[in-house]
Chains A and B, each alone.
Chain A
Amino acid sequence: MITKRIIPCLDVKNGRVVKGVNFEGLRDVSSPVELAKFYSDNGADELVFYDITASSDGRKIFTDILCETASKVFIPLTVGGGINSVGDFDRVLNCGADKVSVNSGAIKNPDLVYNAAKLYGDQCVVLSVDIKRADGGFRVFAKGGRENTGMEAIEWIKRCVGNGAGEVVVNSMDTDGVKNGFDLELLEKVCEAVSVPVIASGGAGKIEDFITLFKKLPRIDAGLAASVFHFGEIKISDLKKRMLLEGIPARV
């Protein structure tokens, strides 16, 4: 039976994982390679690496880190951050990424999703969207959530899926950081609108939040989180055990 995926997300800047990481037993807690290996050994189903460096030097360090990770960690790896062209797809795919996540790059250049899907296949193109309630609806925000594009979120997602996005990461800015559960209202709307896998992001604070997510919205394929995993507030192995107890298919 196909399982629900649990995906830790690592923000990487100048070769280090940012957003303080706190783990016992890890020699170097801010090494992306070590942290990726730790998560892989402890039951993560996939990993997302976000490159949050702005400089070209930083970009080179990031791709080196990616290569090293992909030669040691053998679970699917999605890379995002600074993906603005098909050339950026090429750069990270050659370093062992399996999927590439586009966000602001797709907003700036609406052909990016179509062109990348044509070259690398739909399964390779992940649309990531930062969404917030504004102007009486769900709006797409760009530039790491700093800029309201005014675009209606569900329409934007449908358009990108129509252009070939093979998965959608829905990050609710309204629930992100609050640690009080995923944005079920928004996620339900997205699940109704598209037939590709939908990955929920933003709001996980405890194991129960994942259980509620998968029980209330059976069409959600995966849950993504960062700090609750990094700070050890949720251990993936505990989460998976609980999912099984609740009858939610999980890989253990």
Chain B
Amino acid sequence: MTAIIDYGVGNLFSLKSSLNLVCDDVFVTSDAEKIKRADKIVLPGVGAFGDAAEKLKSSGLFELIKDEAKRGKPLLGICLGMQLLFEKSYEYGEHEGLGLIKGSVKPISEVLDNNYKIPHIGWNSLIFKKESPIFKYIKNGDYVYFVHSFQACDCNESVIATAEYCAELTAAVCRGNVFGCQFHPEKSGSVGLKILKAFAETEAAV
């Protein structure tokens, strides 16, 4: 059972459809009991970090996601959902994240020169930095679809892939059973589906 967490941020239609293709029993929920019963959790998200963190807190899911991840349940954060895995974000102020991965979220404008447009939008190739179970069906250089203006920083030890856009931007991270993709696997064609399939096959940490 894979739970896609619904906390009122973004539309989950494509994510649910794509996960349905690669694993059984996918559901979209905001119900704590259902999330506890699931054996995998996907944390989506688009929009602003502060709003999203606030919505997770007010729905009581903030602590729950932390607890479930700490118990070893595989968790995949996507786009803003990945950024939420970090300790804090500097997107319009300073906001606390889940703190499951060390590091913080900062504007990509800090590392780009003027020739580069913001957001970083489009298909870019992954540069593998470490082996990861979620990469088992794809190869270094495969293309995935990005849309973002902020990125995870100060998290070298957790970065499993980057993408070249003036600088090397953080594209994917992993710490134990906690995974994050800055790009959208549900919009990255067959490569994205392979990443979701590989995540669906990860085992809980003990």
Contacts and interface: CB of A to CB of B under 8 A. Distances in A.
Contacts, number: 77
B124 A93 contact: no
B193 A94 contact: no
B153 interface: no
A74 B147 contact: no
B14 A98 contact: yes
Given A2-B165, A166-B119, A70 B14 contact: yes
B95 interface: no
Of the candidates A74, A221, A251, the one having the most CB atoms from chain B within 10 angstroms of its own CB is: A74
B70 interface: no
A241 B19 CA distance: 31
B17 A5 contact: no
A31 B100 CA distance: 45
A108 to B, nearest CB: 25
Interface in A71-95: 71-72, 74-76, 93-95
Interface in A145-191: 166-167
B18 interface: yes
Interface stretch (B32-40, B57-65, B128-136, B182-190): B182-190
Contact of B17 (A70, A122, A123, A251): A70
Interface in B120-144: 120-125, 143
B13 A70 contact: yes
Interface in A188-224: 195-197, 221-222
B81 interface: no
Where chain B touches its partner, the secondary structure class is mixed
B123 A74 contact: no
A96 B11 contact: yes
B123 A3 contact: yes
B198 interface: no
A74 B18 contact: yes
B46 interface: yes
B70 to A, nearest CB: 31
Nearest to A198: B117
Contacts of B121: 123, 166-167, 197, 221
A74 B11 contact: no
B122 A96 contact: no
B193 A123 contact: no
A233 B188 CA distance: 26
Interface string B4-40: 0000000101100110100000000000000000000
B164 interface: yes
Contacts of B13: 67, 70-71, 94-96
A166 B122 CA distance: 13
A95 B16 CA distance: 12
A40 interface: yes
A5 B145 CA distance: 11
B47 interface: yes
A3 B125 CA distance: 9
Interface of B: 11, 13-14, 17-18, 20, 46-47, 117-125, 143, 145, 147, 163-165, 186-190, 192-193
Interface of A: 1-3, 5, 40, 45, 67, 70-72, 74-76, 93-96, 98, 121-123, 166-167, 195-197, 221-222, 251
Given A45-B122, A94-B11, 5 more contacts: A45-B123, A74-B17, A93-B11, A122-B119, A221-B121
21 contacts: A1-B124, A2-B123, A2-B164, A3-B123, A45-B123, A70-B13, A71-B13, A74-B17, A74-B187, A74-B188, A74-B189, A74-B190, A74-B193, A75-B187, A76-B145, A95-B13, A98-B14, A121-B47, A123-B46, A196-B117, A251-B123
